[in-house]
Structure 1
Amino acid sequence: MPDKRKADQAVVKRGTTAVDMRIYKAVVNAVMSHRLPPGTHLGEADFCELYQVSRTTVRKALQRLAHDHIIELRPNRGAVIASPTPQEARDIFAARRAIEREIVPLVIQNATPASIQQIRAAIAAEDAARRSGDRAGWIRLGGEFHLLLAQLAGNHVLQRFMQELVSRCSLIIALYETPGSTMCENDEHQDLATLIEQRKVKEATHLIEHHLQEIEERLRLADQDRKVNLAEALSGF
Structure 2
Amino acid sequence: MSRTAPTAASTQRETPSRKMSQNDHIYDEMFSAILEQRLAPGTKLSEDTLGEIFGVSRTVIRTVLQRLAHERIVQIHPNRGAFVSEPSPEEAKEVLRARGLIEEGIVREAVRRHSQADIAELRRSVAAERVSLNEGDHEAWVRLSGNFHLTLAKIAGNQTLAAYVKELVSRTSLIIVQYQKGNLSPCSCDEHTDIIKAIEAGDEGAAVTLMRAHLQACEDQLNLQEREVKGDLYSIFAKPSPKAEKLRGSL
Q: TM-score range by the shorter chain?
A: 0.7 to 0.9
SS in 1 for 2:75: strand
Instruction: Tell me what 1:71 maps to.
Output: 74
Partner SS for 1:79: strand
2:182 is the alignment partner of 1:208: no
1:100 paired to 2:100: no
1:32 aligns with 2:48: no
User: Amino acid of the residue matched to residue 213 of structure 1?
Assistant: Q
In the TM superposition, residue 112 of structure 1 has moved relative to its aligned partner by 1.1
Deviates more, 1:175-184 or 1:148-157: 175-184
Rounded Cα–Cα distance in structure 2 between residues aligned with 1:132 and 1:190? 19
Given the alignment, which residue of 4, 8, 15 partners 1:11?
Answer: 15
Counting only pairs closer than 5 Å after superposition, residues 6-155 of structure 1 correspond to structure 2 as 11-13=15-17, 15-155=18-158
Q: Does the CA contact (< 8 Å) of 1:48 and 1:55 recur in 2?
A: yes
Higher relative contact order (CA closer than 8 Å, sequence separation 6+): 1
Rg larger for: 2
TM-score w.r.t. length of structure 1: 0.86
Which residue of 2 is the match for residue 231 of structure 1? none
Post-superposition Cα deviations, 1:211-230, rounded to whole Å, max 9, x if no partner, equal 0011111101477xxxxxxx
1 CA distance for matches of 2:80 and 2:136? 36
Instruction: Give CA-to-partner distance per residue, 1:69-105, whole Å, 9 cap, x none.
Output: 1100001210000111101111110010000110111
Specify which of 150, 172, 176 is matched with residue 169 of structure 1.
172
What is the rounded CA distance, in whole Å, between the counterparts of 1:170 and 1:108 in structure 2? Answer: 26
Q: Distance in 2 between matches of 1:40 and 1:159?
A: 27
Cα offset, 1:184, TM superposition: 6.4
Q: Name the TM-score, length of structure 2 as normaliser.
A: 0.81
Aligned to 2:192: 189
Q: Percent identity?
A: 39
Are the structure 2 counterparts of residues 167 and 89 from structure 1 closer, same or farther at C-alpha, using a change threshold of 3 Å? same
Q: Distance in 2 between matches of 1:30 and 1:70?
A: 11
Alpha-carbon separation, structure 2, partners of 1:177 and 1:16: 38
Unaligned runs of 5+ in 2: 1-13, 228-251
Q: What's the Cα RMSD here?
A: 1.6
Q: Do the aligned partners of 2:92 and 2:224 also contact (CA within 8 Å) in 1? A: no
One-letter code aligned to 2:112: Q
Asked if 1:178 corresponds to 2:188, the answer is: no
Alignment partners' CA distance in 1, 2:205 and 2:220: 23
Question: Does the alignment pair 1:158 with 2:157?
Answer: no
In structure 2, what is the equivalent of residue 7 of structure 1?
none
- Separation in structure 1 between the aligned mates of residue 224 and residue 130 of structure 2, nearest angstrom: 29
- Kept after mapping to 1: 8 A contact 2:125/2:148: yes
CA contact (8 A) 1:183 1:215 kept: no
Say if 1:221 and 1:183 are closer, same or farther in 2 by CA, change over 3 A.
farther
User: Relative to structure 1, is the Cα distance of residues 125 and 12 closer, same or farther in structure 2, using a 3 angstrom cutoff?
Assistant: farther
